[in-house]
Amino acid sequence: MLLRTIDIREIRLRLRFPFVTSLGRTEERRIILVRVEDENGVEGWGECTTDENPFYSEEWVDGSWLILQDYLLPLALGKTIEHPSEVAGLFAGVRGHRMAKAAVESACWHLEAERRGVPLWQLLGGRRETIAAGVSIGLQPGVDELLVKIENEVGAGYRRVKIKIKPGSDRELIERVRAHFPDLSLMVDANSAYTLADMPLFEELDQFGLMMIEQPLAYDDLFDHATLQRGITTPVCLDESIVKPADAVHAIALSSCRIINVKLGRVGGYTSALQIERICREAGVPVWCGGMLESGVGRAHNIALSTLEGFSLPGDVSASARYWEEDIIDPPVTVSGEGLISVPTGSGLGVAVDRDRIEHLTARLESGICR
């Protein structure tokens, strides 16, 4: 395929409710979308899943915009590739910036699926026609408010609930939630807010039957997590620490975790995500798809990723209506009363991108065309 046209645009979507973690509070998402078009006018869409600020990772919206505009687009525009897995090679000279790279690569995977007239998930080798939906709930003003939120999500059918914790809002909160929901598949996410000095706390958390504790220690650590995992029975799940396939290999060798969260943007795109899924599956380590408050484009890509065999745990792939009054895809993502998402059967992402709504939401646009 010839990468004849590549557009990058920033849209702004206001969340229905603020999302609060130990890293900060988000009320509006600034989202970079990438559109790639081939020589026949077939197009594919990708989403740069970086946050507005460099707190979750080194990447952030304005930095990603510059990297895309000044480096990645010039490297990709006008190139002819046989397969979207070749996109990573085009960007090999640029260190890091995985979320920006993933936005272009995922758009090319979508484009290839459209060219072949097949669903993207089938092109990836996915096997699931439905995926189990989990939900992530941010920090709330108080425990009572959190319990109401969880009650609503359980009533909506979600199979797994993740709650955010931070120092000072952890043990008592979890104890109250577990007492109220004794049989709930419950996990907690610390977003790197703790250290090994908090080992006594994590030992106490063993009593609550958690599915996992996600990224409790430093965002780039493997060694301290191995020490933590040896000291507790609750599975540790790594998120921020896994940015490439080699990290998964090392984490498994060190026994740093028993579960891995795969985020398409964080690991640099599908080519890397497919390798991580295979590494973990062959080692017997389950993986699941994490979320970054994506719009419908990123959410549709997450659904495709979640159909792979190794994604055996419910991910953070929830309904569009949990976040947005109106999404940018048609139909929006919905979750059944049984907590399942039906995987689209149409070609590409299986949903239509709402171009009119995207135009309305666009704050800036950069377009490159190879003539």
Nearest Cα residue to 178 out of 145, 141, 142, 147? 147
Q: Are 245 and 275 in contact (CB under 8 A)?
A: yes
Hey, which bits of the chain come out as E strands?
A: 5-21, 24-37, 43-48, 130-132, 134-137, 160-164, 186-189, 213-214, 236-238, 259-262, 287-289, 329-330, 340-342, 352-353, 362-369
To the query of whether residue 263 is one of the catalytic residues in this protein, the response is yes
Burial class (CB in 10 A: 0-12, 13-18, 19+), 28: exposed
Q: How far apart are CA 255 and CA 298, in angstroms?
A: 31
**Amino acid making up residue 50:** T
Q: Which two tokens stand for residue 270?
A: 């599908």
To the query of whether residue 164 is one of the catalytic residues in this protein, the response is yes
Q: Which two tokens stand for residue 163?
A: 């709650």
Catalytic residue among 162, 164, 166, 244: 164
Q: Find all residues with CB under 8 Å of 66, minimum gap 6, and list them.
A: none
Return the sign of the alpha-carbon dihedral for residues 189, 236, 244, 134: negative
Q: Which two tokens stand for residue 250?
A: 């090392």
Q: Find all residues with CB under 8 Å of 257, minimum gap 6, and list them.
A: 225, 229, 235, 236, 237, 238, 251, 285
CB atoms within 10 A of CB 95: 7
Nearest Cα residue to 316 out of 107, 106, 131? 131
Q: How far apart are CA 166 and CA 180, in angstroms?
A: 20
Q: Which two tokens stand for residue 269?
A: 């795109």
Q: How far apart are CA 344 and CA 350, in angstroms?
A: 5
Catalytic residue among 79, 162, 244, 263: 263
DSSP state of 270: H
* Residues labelled catalytic: 164, 263
